[in-house]
A and B are shown apart, each in its own frame.
Chain A
């Protein structure tokens, strides 16, 4: 059984068909790229998968369970986590607090225990503090743990957003243009990071990206959409030589 499977997923905004007949299968530990020209509906697909938009038709199965109609936070708790095209950090909070937020649903102490600071509160708070630090260490960010998120350099902010998404313990990570605005060296480093995450956490990654070097370099499978419809699926080699894809990008 695939980790994630969509069946004839589609959404209309008024008369506009943003995405239609979207069928995709993601296996465990797979790294898939989702590409397409601007306005093709890539981010809309992400918003459908994460429950931000309610699809007009079709279904989404996560480990065989239909997750259509679930709230975004419920879907996160079920194992799909994401980053945003324009970084969305908790800007005025410290780096470590940003990560701690994502542990929220895995902690158990009640509101009363938190207010009275029962031993359980201290124990769990200490645990997630260490977990958050460990996670930051993986990204070489432990020194920045108490810096304010908005003061980080751009590349670090991207990394922090990925770290935060990983803290929710996802099975599938959706990355929305992680390399946007990065210079070639940063992009290179990011490629390594993505590979590393996949191997270390044993998760599947679906990635939207315009940087073809990055997509072709790390994805095992690429899905191309244009005008909300999948026009090609295949390995990087197959996609490079696909006439429809070349047509969509360059015009015929």
Chain B
């Protein structure tokens, strides 16, 4: 029992340590407000990437419409905030939850027809749905159309992004290591065999897909309340691809991989700002080199584990904690 607790203690300490360091750096001014913005972007990208990893890495379904769910979450939560007047933190939580729920509902609606298909067909159909969502938003009155949705209260702060990111990553991690997560992974491994051992594959496909959409919606909600302006053009196809690149680079089926890749791929474009003309070129070349030398992504399907690092794995029965 005692050894079971150890990984939890280590990871809790690590999370709090990261948090305290970041807070200290902010208060001493080493991380100025510009860098703080990057840290918040990293958090949002981690949420988007880990949620897409659930659908693409663990469930094994190539989905290219993640920006669409993010857009639904962003707009739904922004509209929610504009209509309600609660205390800041409560308002943010209520809004992003509503954004997540809307995105999740659309995840179910889109998932039911789309998940009948596989591989490239699924990629194209989700791409289509993603674009439909963007075009519908572009033409609706309540969303402000092409002018964009302005004047959203800036409720997202470093604190809220940090803790919401931590919670979402933990939820996905423990889910994946439960019987339901095993069922999701079995679909990636072999759908026919999965059904042949008594797993309701349709249910788990739609569940994982809509849960991924739900978290993407929350990510969108945080995005909306940070940038305070929403423009349909920023939720296009390229955004979906950017999220997918993070997942692929980090390793499909590795949450820690997604986190590392989200950090690298959010900071990298900023570092390359000095080479403005060659920025995208360098970025692309890095991706190509990465795919040639490590096609499975930074971490492949494995997880980086502090517990393993300190060599106090409680028993080799457990998966990496």
Interface residues of A (CB under 8 A from B): 50, 52, 71-73, 76-77, 81-82, 84, 88-93, 97, 100-105, 107, 109, 111, 114-117, 121-122, 124-125, 129, 146, 164-165, 167-168
Contacts and interface: CB of A to CB of B under 8 A. Distances in A.
Nearest to B253: A92
Nearest to A121: B178
B198 A114 contact: no
Interface in B161-201: 171, 174-175, 178-183, 185-186, 189-190, 192-201
Given A88-B190, A101-B186, A111 B180 contact: yes
Contacts, number: 92
Contact of B193 (A77, A88, A104): A88
A88 B192 contact: yes
B195 A114 contact: no
Contacts of B4: 122
B316 A146 contact: yes
Nearest to B173: A115
B181 A114 contact: yes
A100 B317 CA distance: 13
Contact of B198 (A73, A89, A116, A121): A73
B301 interface: yes
Instruction: Tell me whether chain B's interface is mostly helix, strand or loop, or mixed.
Output: helix
- Closest 6 A-B residue pairs measured CB to CB? A114-B178, A90-B189, A76-B198, A88-B193, A102-B197, A105-B198
A116 B199 CA distance: 22
Contacts of A100: 179, 182
Contact of B197 (A76, A107, A116): A76
A100 B180 CA distance: 11
B86 to A, nearest CB: 26
Q: Which of A71, A101, A105 has the most CB of B within 10 A?
A: A101
A104 B301 contact: no
Contact of B182 (A73, A97, A111): A97
B178 A91 contact: no
A50 B196 CA distance: 8
A44 to B, nearest CB: 15
A136 to B, nearest CB: 13
A73 B178 contact: no
A76 to B, nearest CB: 4
A104 B175 contact: no
A115 B178 contact: yes
Nearest to A92: B189
